[in-house]
Amino acid sequence: MKQLLWLLKWMLKAAIFFTLFAFALNNQQDATVHFFFGTQWRAPLVLVVLTAFAAGVVIGVLGMVPRWWKHRTAARRIQPAPVTVPPGSPASPPPADHGL
């Protein structure tokens, strides 16, 4: 069963890879991106799409950093409550024998 799942995962990964590879091969024509003040960038379309995706990921992560930082500092301030287990319960450890 594990081998079947492993095989299915790799087949899915291979299908995604070959789909993206075919997309890259079909979009090799140059695209021009026009910026401000008359500047422009000419590159293959697949590179333009990949750059736009990567820029979106970076902007999204940078937008989340302050919130992550806030939650991380709040989590550090919280003291974990001590766990109390009633004596004699199955989860309680046996009494320590100090060799007496």
pLDDT in tens, 22-65: 888 887 888 888 889 989 989 888 888 889 999 999 999 999 99
Burial 1-23 (b: 16+ CB within 10 A, else e): eeeeeeeeeeeeeeeeeeeeeee
DSSP state of 30: E
56-77 pLDDT per residue, tens? 999 999 999 999 999 888 888 8
pLDDT of residue 6: 86
pLDDT of residue 61: 94
Note whether 24 and 46 are within 8 A (CB). Answer: yes
Q: Which residue has the tokens 């069963």?
A: 1
pLDDT of residue 89: 67
pTM check: above 0.75? no
pLDDT of residue 99: 63
